[in-house]
Chains A and B, each alone.
Chain A
Amino acid sequence: MQAVRKWSLATELVHPVVPYDPAAGGTALPVNLSVSFGYDSSEELAAAFSGERPGYVYARIQNPTIELFERHFAEIEHSVASVTTASGMAAIAAIVLAVAAPGDEIVAGTSLFGGTFVLLEELFGRYGVRTRFVEPTDPDRWRRAITDRTRLLFVEAIGNPKLDVPDIGALAELAAVHGVPLAVDATAATPALIRPGELGASLVIHSLTKYVGGHGAGLGGIVVDTGVYDWTAGRVEIPPEFLERYRRLAFAAFLRLRIQQHFGGCLAPFHAFLFTLGLETLALRMDQHCRNALALAQTLSAHPKVAEVRYPGLGTHPDHETARRQFGDRYGGLLTLRLGSQERCFRFMNRLRLAKRLANLGDVRTLVIHPASTFCREASPERAEAMGVSEDLVRVSVGIEAFEDLKSDFEQALEVL
């Protein structure tokens, strides 16, 4: 039975279901930096270690600050559990480590963040886990790529930097038919645009570093178990001890108490605190990111020196209808421009006064980057094309500044071309 949700996202973000600090009545998340937790007797410590009694043991396994943050985030996603990681990349790595063994396969969309592509193809390839890459917006390609060794479908809700938008519901149906989990990296969309679990996705990933924080201070990632996938009955093999003890939470427990404990890619408690500060204003900020990005995309589309603008909110975008339906008529803060050559891109970017040239997205400030010479520089020409990256492409992460100031900054920079 689905719970009746009383509040909208903006309210849920600022009122955690499990209060942060009921003892003192504080509204901020208490930061507990303790690495380990003591008990009055050895017997009690042993009981906490074995799980016979609930209790914290060592911060690589769990920590009170981290646990409160994870509970809050799971509720925001209307999901059953979440597990934090040291970064968004660590979140993806943790999922693959949990679901795949040598000989297993992953099916992933082609238009992934460059770092994710390297992780899946090159690094997990070294350990015998093969990823088959398919056009993300064509469910039939996904269907044909699934084999009896497939253990995970992986896609970005908004491809970075291609900005394509797959039909999450269609992919979730496909995943359910084949008994494999569907993981959606929703970093660029955030819960303000989509809760993939409500469309049938099994896992949701966020780089907390991006829009969730918004401040560009502190790395972090999170894996959300939406509760859709039955880990006791699907193709993914979770060790039976975890299935028996943690039942419907077996995946989250395996991730938290085995993968994170032993691979060690944990979120720092202070960073969890920083992300709670960001979360409180996420809905407000996303409203402004989306408004600014749409207005900038429209302005630049009409500019004679811009060859092409790609933004899911434009009627000319091939996935506009999917995006409109899936994201509630909002389209995120990312857009790309084509300016004719790398040299022209660099000249334009160097002239910008407000927008920062740096490798991040989702910051409150407007950021620009040239993907072909930075985070996609390792891709072959064929791969770069599939990722939507060309030599003359600039990615813009539109911030929350006053739109008129952004417009004037971009227009004056285009004058150098």
Chain B
Amino acid sequence: MQIQINGIVKEKPDGLTVQDLLESEEVERPEMVSVELNDHILFRIEFRERKLQEGDRVEFIYLMGGGADRTAGDLGSAVALRRRPESKEWHDAEEASF
């Protein structure tokens, strides 16, 4: 069967559980990974029981160090400043920031 893992389509054997997938993909720090399956976060207790199916989309997510990069910071700030065009104060802030 074909499943999508972190955006990449891969061929995997039928009957694979989420736990099997973590092992076959040699996921780093598996005890700390969160798994999103088709837009829903799985509970840990589901890893060994949940069998994957053709077309499933799986994302491995960590809340450890990532998100600290400058690109993310700049994007976040720009969005926050742009979101209130009706407010005079925010226009001022935007002009001062850019």
Residues of A within 8 A of B (CB): 1, 3-6, 17-19, 22, 48-57, 61-62, 67, 71, 75, 78, 80-81, 101-103, 128, 227, 237, 239-242, 245-249, 252-254, 256-258, 261
Q: What residues of chain A lie closer than 8 Å to B59, measured between beta carbons?
A: 247
Q: Is the CB of A257 within 8 A of B43?
A: no
Q: Give the complex CA separation of A313 and B41 in angstroms.
A: 36
Q: A248, B40: Cβ atoms under 8 Å?
A: yes
A3-B75 contact in complex given A61-B65, A81-B41, A253-B67, C-beta closer than 8 Å: no
Contact residues of B with A, CB < 8 Å? 28-29, 31-34, 36, 39-46, 49, 59, 61-69, 71-73, 75-76, 79-80, 83-84, 87, 89-90
Contact of B63 among A4, A75, A239, A249 (CB under 8 A): A249
Whether B67 lies near A242 (C-beta < 8 A) is yes
Given A239-B76, A241-B71, are A257 and B46 also a contact pair (CB < 8 Å)? no
List of B residues within 8 angstroms of A49 by Cβ: 65-66, 68-69
A217 to B34, CA, bound (A): 31
Could you tell me the distance between the alpha carbons of A67 and B40 in the complex, rounded to whole angstroms? Answer: 21
* A239 B79 Cβ-Cβ under 8 A: yes
Shortest B74–chain A CB gap in Å is: 9
Per the bound structure, the CA–CA distance linking A253 and B39 in Å amounts to 16
Would you list 24 pairs from A and B whose C-beta atoms are within 8 A, ordered by A residue?
A: A1-B40, A5-B45, A17-B43, A18-B32, A49-B65, A50-B66, A50-B69, A51-B66, A51-B67, A54-B29, A55-B64, A55-B65, A57-B68, A71-B44, A101-B84, A239-B80, A242-B67, A247-B36, A249-B61, A249-B63, A253-B61, A253-B66, A257-B63, A257-B66
Task: Determine the chain A residues whose CB is within 8 A of the CB of B83 once the complex forms.
Answer: 101, 237
Residues of B within 8 A of A22 (CB): 31
Given A239-B76, A240-B79, A248-B36: A62 touches B67 (CB 8 Å cut-off): no
Contact, CB under 8 Å: A248 / B39: yes
Establish whether residues B65 and A57, one from each chain, have CB atoms under 8 Å apart when the complex forms.
Answer: yes
How many whole Å from B39's CB to the nearest CB in chain A?
6
Please report the C-alpha to C-alpha distance between residue A372 and residue B44 in the assembled complex, in whole angstroms: 45
Contact B46 A3 (CB under 8 A): yes
Given contacts A18-B31, A81-B41, contact A241 B64 (CB under 8 A): no
Give the residue of B28, B43, B75 whose beta carbon is less than 8 angstroms from that of A239: B75
